[in-house]
C-alpha cells in the first residue's frame, strides 16, 4: 500500500471502524492535504486583516483571536477524527467536501468579522463545517457498535454547542445581546467546545495515531509559516512600489526569512510523535496548547508584513508598535513551544533557560527602536532566535561526537 493512502482506496462505501493506533507508515492522505489548502485561504485572510489593523493603528486582537479559534478548532476536529476513522470511501470524501466548503465560506466572512464585528458569514461557514463533522460521527455511531457511545456523544455535543453559536449570532443581530456580554458569551462557548472531546471520550478513547497527529500538526505549522512568507513578500512588493529598494528593506526582508527558518527549525526539534505515543493521556494539553502556537505564527506573518511596509516608507505606524507586532508573537511561540512539549517528552531538546532568556530579550528589543530603528530590531529578534537554535543543536552534536568517539570498534 502506498504511503498516505487508506486501506479502502476511495471505494464506494466502507463500514466505518477505528484505524489501528500502530498502523505502519501512517502519513497524511491526499484528501487531508487537499483539505488543508482551504485553510490556507482562511489563514491568509485573517493574517491580512490583522496586518491592516496594525497598519491603521488598532491591533484588533480580540476579533483576530476569535476568528482564528474558529479556523483552528475546525481544523483540529477534522484532523483528530481523520486520524481515528478515515475510511476514504465516497461518503467520507463527500462529507469532507462539505467541511471544505464551510472553510471557504468562513474565510469569505473574515474581513467583515474583524473590521465590522459582523460574524454572519463566519458563523455560517462554521455551521456548515460542523454539519459535516456531526454526520461523520453519526456514521461512527451507527456503523461501529463498539463506538456508538462515543459517536453519539460527539455528535450531540457538537450539535448543542453549535446551537449556542447560532443563538449568539441571532441575539447579537437582534440587539438582545449587549456588546459587553459578547466576549464572555464567546468565551463560555469556547469552554464548551473544548469540553466536548474529554466528555465524549470519558469511557473510550478514539484510536488516533500519534505519529500521524504529529505530522498533521507539523504540516499546519508549515502552512502558517508559509503565510508569513506570503505576508512578508506582499509587504516587500508594496514597499518597492512606494519607494524602491533600500538597505533597511533588505535587512528586514532577510531578517524575516531567517526568523521564520529558525522557528521552523525549533518546532521540528522536539519528537512530538514519540511523546504522544508514550503519553496519550497528555494529548489534550499538547493539542489544545497549539492554539497559542498557531495563533502566534499567524500573528507573526501580519507583524512582518507591517514591518516591511513601514520600512518601505509608506506607513506612519510607530516603530515600537510595529516592533512589538513582531516581538510578541515570537516570544509567545518560544514560551509555548517549551510549555507544550515539556510534559510530553522525557528530555527536552529545547533548553528552557535559553527559551525564557530569549523571550525576555525579544520582548525588550522594541524599546530600542527609537534609537537603532525598526530594521535593527527585527534583525536583533532574528539573531536571538538563531542563537537559540545554536545553543540547542550544538550540545546534541557534541554528545553525538563523544558517543561515536567512545564507542568500541566492532571491526577490530
Averaged pLDDT of the chain:
89
CA gap 286, 348 in Å, rounded: 14
Backbone torsions φ then ψ of 408, nearest 5 degrees: -70, 145
Nearest C-alpha neighbor of 129 from the set 165, 102, 90: 102
Q: Which residues in 26-163 belong to E strands, given as ranges?
A: none
Q: What is the DSSP track for 384-409? A: HHHHHHHHHHHHHHHHHHHHHHHS--
Residue 285 has pLDDT above 70, yes or no: yes
Say what the pLDDT of residue 400 is: 52
Confidence of residue 10 (pLDDT cuts 50, 70, 90): low
CA gap 371, 130 in Å, rounded: 51
CA gap 23, 299 in Å, rounded: 36
Nearest C-alpha neighbor of 351 from the set 241, 242, 269, 293: 269
Quick one: average pLDDT of 96-114? 95
Residue 406 has pLDDT above 60, yes or no: no
Quick one: average pLDDT of 284-295? 96
Alpha carbons within 13 A on the beta-carbon side of 403: 6
Residue 232 vs residue 62, higher pLDDT: 62
Nearest C-alpha neighbor of 296 from the set 38, 50, 39: 50
Residue 125 has pLDDT above 50, yes or no: yes
Measured at the alpha carbon of residue 292, what is the angle toward residues 50 and 350, in degrees to the nearest 5?
Answer: 125
DSSP-derived secondary structure letter, 367:
G
**In the chain, what are the domain boundaries?**
30-200, 210-398
Total residues belonging to the chain? 412
Range of weakest confidence among 291-295, 349-353, 407-411: 407-411
- Chain centre distance of CA 285: 15
Whether the CB-CB separation of 333 and 293 falls below 8 Å is answered with: yes
Say what the pLDDT of residue 241 is: 74
Say what the pLDDT of residue 398 is: 53
CA gap 269, 272 in Å, rounded: 9
Residue 213 has pLDDT above 80, yes or no: yes
The pTM of the full predicted model, rounded to 2 decimals, is: 0.91
CA gap 230, 250 in Å, rounded: 16
Q: What is the Cα Rg of the chain in Å?
A: 23
Residue 24 has pLDDT above 80, yes or no: yes
Confidence of residue 179 (pLDDT cuts 50, 70, 90): confident
Range of weakest confidence among 132-136, 239-243, 257-261: 239-243
Residue 401 has pLDDT above 60, yes or no: no
Provide the grid cell at 70: 474558529
Quick one: average pLDDT of 136-141? 97
CA gap 100, 105 in Å, rounded: 9
Range of weakest confidence among 254-258, 327-331, 400-404: 400-404
Quick one: average pLDDT of 55-65? 83
Residue 81 has pLDDT above 60, yes or no: yes
Say what the pLDDT of residue 408 is: 41
Residue 347 has pLDDT above 50, yes or no: yes
Amino acid at each position: 500500500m502506498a504511503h498516505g493512502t487508506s486501506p479502502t482506496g476511495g471505494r464506494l462505501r466502507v463500514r466505518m471502524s477505528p484505524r489501528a493506533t500502530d498502523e505502519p507508515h501512517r502519513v497524511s492522505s491526499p484528501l487531508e492535504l487537499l483539505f488543508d489548502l482551504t485553510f490556507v485561504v482562511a489563514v491568509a485572510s485573517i493574517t491580512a486583516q490583522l496586518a491592516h489593523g496594525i497598519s491603521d493603528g488598532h491591533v484588533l486582537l480580540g476579533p483576530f483571536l476569535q476568528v482564528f479559534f474558529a479556523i483552528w478548532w475546525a481544523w483540529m476536529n477534522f484532523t483528530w477524527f481523520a486520524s481515528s476513522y478515515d475510511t476514504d470511501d465516497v461518503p467520507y470524501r463527500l462529507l469532507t467536501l462539505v467541511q471544505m466548503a464551510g472553510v471557504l465560506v468562513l474565510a469569505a466572512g473574515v474581513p467583515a468579522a474583524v473590521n465590522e464585528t459582523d460574524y454572519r458569514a463566519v458563523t455560517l461557514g462554521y455551521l456548515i463545517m460542523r454539519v459535516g463533522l456531526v454526520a461523520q460521527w453519526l456514521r461512527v455511531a451507527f456503523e461501529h457498535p463498539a463506538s456508538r457511545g462515543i459517536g453519539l456523544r460527539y455528535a450531540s455535543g457538537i450539535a448543542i454547542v453549535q446551537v449556542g453559536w447560532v443563538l449568539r449570532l441571532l441575539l447579537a443581530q437582534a440587539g438582545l445581546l449587549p456588546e459587553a456580554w459578547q466576549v464572555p458569551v464567546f468565551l463560555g462557548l469556547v469552554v464548551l467546545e473544548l469540553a466536548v472531546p474529554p466528555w465524549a471520550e470519558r469511557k473510550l478513547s478514539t484510536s488516533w495515531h500519534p505519529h500521524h497527529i504529529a505530522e498533521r500538526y507539523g504540516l499546519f505549522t508549515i502552512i502558517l509559516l508559509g503565510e508569513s512568507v506570503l505576508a512578508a513578500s506582499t509587504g516587500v512588493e508594496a514597499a518597492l512600489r512606494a519607494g524602491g529598494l533600500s538597505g533597511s528593506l533588505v535587512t528586514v526582508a532577510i531578517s524575516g526569512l531567517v526568523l521564520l527558518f529558525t522557528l521552523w527549525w525549533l518546532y521540528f526539534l522536539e519528537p512530538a510523535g514519540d511523546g504522544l505515543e508514550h503519553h496519550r493521556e497528555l494529548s489534550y494539553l499538547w493539542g489544545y496548547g497549539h492554539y497559542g502556537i498557531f495563533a502566534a505564527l499567524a500573528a507573526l506573518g501580519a507583524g512582518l508584513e507591517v514591518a516591511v511596509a513601514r520600512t518601505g516608507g509608506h506607513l506612519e505606524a510607530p516603530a515600537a508598535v510595529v516592533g512589538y507586532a513582531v516581538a510578541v508573537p515570537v516570544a509567545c511561540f518560544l514560551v509555548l513551544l517549551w510549555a507544550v512539549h515539556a510534559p510530553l517528552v522525557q528530555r527536552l531538546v529545547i533548553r528552557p533557560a535559553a527559551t525564557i532568556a530569549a523571550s525576555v530579550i525579544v520582548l525588550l528589543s522594541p524599546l530600542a527602536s527609537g534609537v537603532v530603528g525598526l530594521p535593527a530590531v527585527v534583525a536583533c529578534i532574528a539573531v536571538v532566535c538563531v542563537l537559540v537554535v545554536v545553543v540547542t543543536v550544538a550540545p546534541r552534536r557534541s554528545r553525538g561526537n563523544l558517543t561515536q568517539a567512545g564507542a568500541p570498534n566492532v571491526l577490530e
